């Protein structure tokens, strides 16, 4: 049951899957947004340098890198429904900031006038709606993320991010991995620790006891949890019949390449199948513990849009499991209890 819940939360599944695909594919949650629903008629009024956290002297490569990081962190399809409006506004500002600073002519006009609206005047072929839709679609594509990962992993920028996270979270490695983009406990632990240890030795950062005195048990638990997530993703992929597509079969190299090419489609199929399984399970719960009203014959059952909370779901699941266990116990005299 926990796997059904975990895999429905795509953010958890993708981390396990991406480790095996050698590419950190970020897949949108179950309810994917449409760029047509999000885009405003007019671009926002912003300071593009402030939005992307850049100095005025930032190079073109720094602009591109800052945009990629901000877009990955703030894409509307990576947040829950109640946060989507806020993420929409944030992403629009990020996309427009990049539209200004990535184009030399627009950037020069902005630096001269200080106005974003004047920066896009007479800009050949620039259409805000079309541009936004393109950025919305491409920002979290597997190809875009893979290209970014190749530049980011092992870079000075990643090193700075590791050390910033280290200081912000006072040496808490769990939170460091949550903060640093594209980080993986199984791949990056030795490398991250080397970065931190060298910075401590050179007195670039403080020495925190939470880091220097972390127990072997704590480290082992983190690695075990990461391996468990990876194994869980593989096992569930096998159950749904998409393991070879996601992780590759006996022909590992060929399988891996196919997985990269079709990773997002396969994950979408995995999620859809999981939804169906969960829906079926909820039907079983309803039948077992009784809906207050029964549908008329010949009529399709109306499915409520609002699902139970996680706590209610787990509690009901536990009751159902217990009930089935009781039913399976043999009755006195060696016979099975009546259903």
- pLDDT score at 29: 36
SS3 182: coil
- pLDDT score at 49: 95
- pLDDT score at 40: 55
Count of Cβ atoms closer than 10 Å to residue 290 Cβ: 9
- Contact between residue 195 and residue 180 where contact means Cβ atoms under 8 Å apart: no
- Burial zone of 109 (CB within 10 Å; 0-12 exposed, 13-18 middle, 19+ buried): buried
Q: Does the pLDDT of residue 335 top 50, yes or no?
A: no
- pLDDT score at 206: 94
Most confident of 95-109, 222-236, 239-253, 312-326: 95-109
Q: Does the pLDDT of residue 314 top 50, yes or no?
A: yes
- Average pLDDT, rounded, for the chain: 69
Helix, strand, coil percentages in the chain from 3-state DSSP, rounded to 5: 70, 0, 30
Q: For the residues 10-31, what does the mean pLDDT come to?
A: 38
Who's near 137: CB < 8 A, 6+ residues apart?
Answer: 35
- Contact between residue 276 and residue 51 where contact means Cβ atoms under 8 Å apart: no
Higher pLDDT, 250 or 173: 173
- Contact between residue 152 and residue 65 where contact means Cβ atoms under 8 Å apart: yes
- % of residues, the chain, pLDDT over 70: 47
Q: Each residue of 79-100: b (16+ CB within 10 Å) or e?
A: beeeebeebbebbbbbbbbbbb
Who's near 21: CB < 8 A, 6+ residues apart?
Answer: 246, 247, 256, 259, 260, 263
- Burial zone of 255 (CB within 10 Å; 0-12 exposed, 13-18 middle, 19+ buried): middle
- Burial zone of 110 (CB within 10 Å; 0-12 exposed, 13-18 middle, 19+ buried): buried
- pLDDT score at 19: 38
Higher pLDDT, 303 or 220: 220
Residue 28 binned pLDDT confidence (cut-offs 50, 70, 90): very low
Distance, CA of 48 to CA of 63 (rounded, Å) = 10
Q: Does the pLDDT of residue 182 top 50, yes or no?
A: yes
List pLDDT tens digits, range 209-254. Answer: 999 999 999 989 998 988 887 787 777 667 766 666 556 655 444 4
Long-range own/partner contacts, residues 124-129 (CB < 8 A, 24 or more apart): 126/99, 128/39, 128/42, 128/43, 128/96, 128/99, 129/39, 129/41
Q: DSSP label at 170?
A: T
- pLDDT score at 176: 93
Judge: domain 24-233, CATH 3.20.20.370: no
Q: For the residues 187-192, what does the mean pLDDT come to?
A: 93
CA atoms within 13 Å, Cβ hemisphere of 90: 17
Residue 223's φ and ψ, nearest 5 degrees, are -65, -40
Domain boundaries, the chain: 24-233
Q: Does the pLDDT of residue 180 top 70, yes or no?
A: yes
Helices (H), 240-290: 243-247, 252-289
- pLDDT score at 127: 64
Distance, CA of 159 to CA of 204 (rounded, Å) = 12
- pLDDT score at 55: 94
Q: For the residues 146-156, what does the mean pLDDT come to?
A: 83
Count of Cβ atoms closer than 10 Å to residue 36 Cβ: 10
- Contact between residue 97 and residue 48 where contact means Cβ atoms under 8 Å apart: yes
Q: Does the pLDDT of residue 167 top 90, yes or no?
A: yes
- pLDDT score at 189: 93
- pLDDT score at 83: 76
Match 């609206």 to its residue by tokens. Answer: 117
């Amino acid at each position: 049951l926990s796997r059904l819940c975990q895999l429905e939360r795509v953010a958890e599944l993708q981390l396990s899957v991406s480790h095996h695909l050698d590419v950190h594919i970020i897949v949108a949650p179950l309810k994917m947004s449409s760029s047509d629903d999000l885009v405003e008629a007019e671009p926002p009024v912003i300071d593009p340098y402030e939005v992307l956290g850049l100095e005025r002297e930032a190079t073109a490569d720094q602009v591109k890198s800052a945009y990629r990081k901000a877009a990955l962190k703030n894409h509307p399809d990576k947040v829950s429904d109640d946060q989507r409006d806020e993420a929409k506004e944030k992403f629009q500002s990020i996309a427009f900031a990049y539209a200004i600073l990535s184009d030399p002519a627009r950037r020069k006009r902005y630096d001269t006038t200080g106005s974003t609206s004047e920066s896009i005047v007479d800009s050949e072929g620039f259409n805000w709606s079309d541009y936004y839709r393109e950025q919305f679609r491409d920002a979290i594509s597997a190809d875009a993320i893979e290209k970014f990962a190749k530049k980011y992993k092992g870079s000075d920028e990643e090193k700075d991010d590791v050390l910033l996270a280290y200081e912000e979270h006072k040496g808490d490695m769990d939170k460091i991995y949550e903060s640093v983009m594209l980080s993986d406990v199984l791949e990056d632990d030795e490398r991250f620790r080397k970065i931190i240890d060298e910075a401590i030795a050179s007195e670039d950062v403080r020495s925190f006891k939470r880091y220097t005195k972390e127990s072997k048990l704590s480290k082992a638990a983190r690695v075990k949890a990461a391996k468990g997530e990876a194994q869980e993703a593989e096992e569930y992929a096998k159950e749904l019949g998409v393991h070879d597509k996601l992780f590759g079969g006996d022909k590992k190299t060929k399988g891996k390449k196919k997985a990269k090419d079709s990773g997002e489609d396969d994950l979408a199929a995995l999620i859809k199948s999981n939804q169906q399984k969960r829906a079926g399970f909820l039907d079983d719960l309803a039948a077992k513990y009784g809906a207050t009203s029964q549908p008329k014959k010949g009529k399709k059952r109306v499915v409520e849009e609002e699902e139970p909370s996680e706590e209610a779901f787990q509690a009901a699941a536990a009751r159902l499991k217990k009930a089935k266990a009781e039913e399976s116990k043999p009755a006195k005299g060696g016979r099975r209890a009546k259903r």
